[in-house]
Structure 1
Amino acid sequence: MNITGNTVFIPGSTSGIGLALARELQAKGNTVIVGGRRTELLARIAAENPGLDTVRIDTTDPASIAAAAKEVLAKHPDLNVLVPMAGIMRVEDWHRPESFVDSAEATVTTNVLGPIRLIAAFVEHLQTRPDATILTVSSGLAFAPLKATPSYNASKAAIHMLSESLRLQLADTSVKVVELEPPSVRTALLPGQEESEFAMPLDAFVSEVMELLETQPDATEIQVENVKFLRHGEARGDYHHVVATLNAADPHGK
């Protein structure tokens, strides 16, 4: 995707990677709309970041997605980039169904149904733009599982294959599908992850992502160096070593 001159909607970007990416994209000359559930937090973000637009959206609620899409497109008819960012990650113990079923269902609703519904709400509009991008967000754990987070791993694997499939289907349109594959990053995705020595500093991650977007405009997958160990284990032939190393070393893998 081009790094400047876009109008970008990032639902689920009131903190962490999403908010950092929104700020960097705005600094590069893009119009950016931040989406989130908490109106007071959105108001604070708008006050602290002049020029960032905000819209309330709950990506677990189809009616909220429809209302937000209508609002965004009315205010920003030149919207050409969608980044479905919202996601949750929870530790689960699958020995006991009562300990994981609610968590698993919430994870799938947020991490899989959310992006599907968001893309459905915007894909027809995006096809009217001469240069449009859907930037999906999967994870290194789409390619190597962290034992503690089965539903998160599965949800991000689903996003990877959804991205691959949409890229094929939309190849006859103006819409590019690009997949961002974060490693573990110092955010509040899991308790303690912001202090994890195994996680990549947020500023360093976003800086490298921006550089990759700028220098590799035709890339279909955005992979910082830290995620390649997870992403390419099968291709290298050391997948089992990758899985063992991940689960021995990093309780907060993303």
Structure 2
Amino acid sequence: MKTTGNTIFISGGSAGIGLEIAKQFSALGNKVIINGRNKERLENALGQLNNAEFIQGDLSIESERERIAEVLRNNYPDINVLINNAGDAYAYTLNGSENAYQNAAKEINTNYLSIIHLSELLLPILSVKKEAAIVNVTSIVALAPQGVVPTYSSSKAALSAYTQLLRKAFADTGLEVYELMPPLVNTHFSADIGGANGIPPKEVADELLLSMENRQFDVPVGQTKALYTLFENIRSKLNS
């Protein structure tokens, strides 16, 4: 897919991976619309971008998703790229001392259900574009769940499965569906689980841009590449 001349919406675009992706696309001359909950952070991010705007709102809330989708449809009818990057994560263990149900409910809502809903709201305009894309940001833990983020791992595994099936559903159209699979990344979001030891978010953004240029729909990054190759080899043997 071309990486210039697009109109791109990036959820969670005020910091971390989302902001780095916004910087990359902005530098290439795309129109970028970032989203987040905190207006101050959005304004700060906007100062680092060219040809960019923001829509403040909490995509974990159904009415907010509907409002934001309506704004995109009405004010940005040329939108042809949706990057579902916003996420929620809780670090804890399944030893009975934490409220796994409440944590999982928040993570599944933000990391899975809200993405399905926002995508569904925008599919009518994305699917008719000559060239369009949806990028869902999953994680290395979708392939190898980690005990420190048990229900986050589960939510990302669910999103990974949905992404693969969405790709198949639109395989014969101009809508491309990408899965971006970063490992641990050094962002504020991952600080509680040792994010300082992770790769820089720019590396994730670089891989996404390269993969989109080459129409490589699965985008494993860093350590995820080895796991992804292992899983693909297993799938190949099972299907042979």
Q: Same fold (TM over 0.5)?
A: yes
Partners of 1:127 and 1:173 within 8 A in 2: yes
Name the counterpart of 2:82: 82
Once the two structures are TM-superposed, the CA of residue 183 in structure 1 deviates from its matched residue by 1.2
CA distance in 1, matches of 2:233, 2:80: 36
Unaligned runs of 5+ in 1: 238-254
Judging changes above 3 Å, is the alpha-carbon distance between structure 1 residues 134 and 235 closer, same or farther for their aligned structure 2 residues? closer
Partners of 2:89 and 2:152 within 8 A in 1: yes
Once the two structures are TM-superposed, the CA of residue 36 in structure 1 deviates from its matched residue by 0.8
User: 3-state DSSP class of the match of 2:54?
Assistant: strand
RMSD of aligned residue pairs (Cα, Å)? 1.8
CA distance in 2, matches of 1:53, 1:140: 30
If the length of structure 2 is used for normalisation, what is the TM-score? 0.90
Deviation string for 1:185-210 (max 9, x for gaps)? 111223253421xx112223322332
Name the counterpart of 2:223: 226
1:195 is aligned to 2:196 = yes
Partners of 1:92 and 1:103 within 8 A in 2: no
Judging changes above 3 Å, is the alpha-carbon distance between structure 1 residues 143 and 135 closer, same or farther for their aligned structure 2 residues? same
Partners of 1:32 and 1:52 within 8 A in 2: yes
Partners of 2:26 and 2:50 within 8 A in 1: no
Name the counterpart of 1:211: 210
1:3 is aligned to 2:3 = yes
1:60 is aligned to 2:57 = no
User: 3-state DSSP class of the match of 1:65?
Assistant: helix
Once the two structures are TM-superposed, the CA of residue 98 in structure 1 deviates from its matched residue by 4.4
Name the counterpart of 1:122: 122
Q: Which amino acid aligns with 1:222?
A: V
Name the counterpart of 1:43: 43
Once the two structures are TM-superposed, the CA of residue 226 in structure 1 deviates from its matched residue by 2.8
Partners of 1:180 and 1:223 within 8 A in 2: yes
Name the counterpart of 1:155: 155
Deviation string for 1:59-102 (max 9, x for gaps)? 11111011111112222111000011111221122221643222
Q: Which amino acid aligns with 1:148?
A: V
Judging changes above 3 Å, is the alpha-carbon distance between structure 1 residues 164 and 48 closer, same or farther for their aligned structure 2 residues? closer
CA distance in 1, matches of 2:183, 2:126: 28
Partners of 2:29 and 2:51 within 8 A in 1: no
Partners of 1:140 and 1:183 within 8 A in 2: yes
Partners of 1:139 and 1:181 within 8 A in 2: yes
CA distance in 1, matches of 2:203, 2:84: 21
CA distance in 1, matches of 2:195, 2:221: 18
User: 3-state DSSP class of the match of 2:9?
Assistant: strand
Q: Which amino acid aligns with 2:34?
A: V
CA distance in 1, matches of 2:171, 2:210: 25
User: 3-state DSSP class of the match of 2:21?
Assistant: helix
Judging changes above 3 Å, is the alpha-carbon distance between structure 1 residues 26 and 48 closer, same or farther for their aligned structure 2 residues? closer
Judging changes above 3 Å, is the alpha-carbon distance between structure 1 residues 127 and 39 closer, same or farther for their aligned structure 2 residues? same
Equivalent positions of 1:10-21 (< 5 A) are 10-21=10-21
CA distance in 2, matches of 1:178, 1:89: 22
Name the counterpart of 1:30: 30
CA distance in 1, matches of 2:98, 2:142: 25
Kindly, what percent of the aligned residue pairs are identical? 30
1:134 is aligned to 2:105 = no
Q: Which amino acid aligns with 2:105?
A: E
If the length of structure 1 is used for normalisation, what is the TM-score? 0.85
CA distance in 2, matches of 1:48, 1:18: 13
User: 3-state DSSP class of the match of 2:171?
Assistant: helix
